[in-house]
Amino acid sequence: MTHLYIAIIVGIISSTAISLYFYIIEAMTGKQLFTLLLNIDFIYDPSDGGAVYMAFEYSLHVFVAISIVLVYLYWITRKKEFWQRRMEIAGLLTFIAFLTYFPLTMLANTTTPAVTDAVAIFDWFVGHVIFFFNLYYLSEWLMKKYFFD
């Protein structure tokens, strides 16, 4: 149960950090990275629009982040060699999340940055580096607090 609590805390904080970064980038540059992050219009038609749809999109984003943290915690606590490679595993999971830029961009029905937009890809990468640091360091701190104190 403690893993779930840690995953919820780290997932909410890390998803909020990456969301804020992309929101600021979108507000300052017009590159629609926040839109891309929350975009699921290829699954669900947002014809009604509004705050309810955005809350659903954001909740889905937080759920995905919590799921990534749960996978991370599961992997690192199952085998000794995984525990010793925590940073690499966090990096691998984050890199996989970074790669979602390409299918999300290709599937989007709304306006998002192009698949070939190097600046948008770099900003997407920086956002996922922020996610990585939150995933790794918050998990480390909470694991030590709950399991090693």
What was the pLDDT predicted at 97?
Answer: 95
| Residues 69, 54: Cα–Cα separation, whole Å | 23
Domain of residue 84 covers 2-147
What was the pLDDT predicted at 41?
Answer: 63
Domain count, the chain: 1
| Residues 57, 55: Cα–Cα separation, whole Å | 5
In degrees, rounded to 5, the angle at the alpha carbon of residue 119 between the alpha carbons of residues 112 and 66 is 65
What digits encode the pLDDT tens for the residues 72-94?
A: 999 999 888 888 999 999 999 99
Distances in Å between the Cα of 111 and the Cα atoms of 17, 30, 104, 135, 141 are 23, 11, 11, 29, 39
Q: What pLDDT band is residue 136 in, cutting at 50, 70 and 90?
A: very high
What's the mean per-residue pLDDT of the chain?
89
Q: What pTM value is reported for the model?
A: 0.89
- Compute how many other C-beta atoms are within 10 angstroms of the C-beta atom of residue 124: 28
**Chain centroid to CA 117: how far?**
20
What digits encode the pLDDT tens for the residues 15-62?
A: 999 999 999 999 999 999 998 898 876 666 666 666 667 788 899 899
Q: 3-class SS at 94?
A: helix
Q: What pLDDT band is residue 1 in, cutting at 50, 70 and 90?
A: low
Which of 143, 131, 129 has the alpha carbon at shortest distance from 64? Answer: 131
What was the pLDDT predicted at 2?
Answer: 86
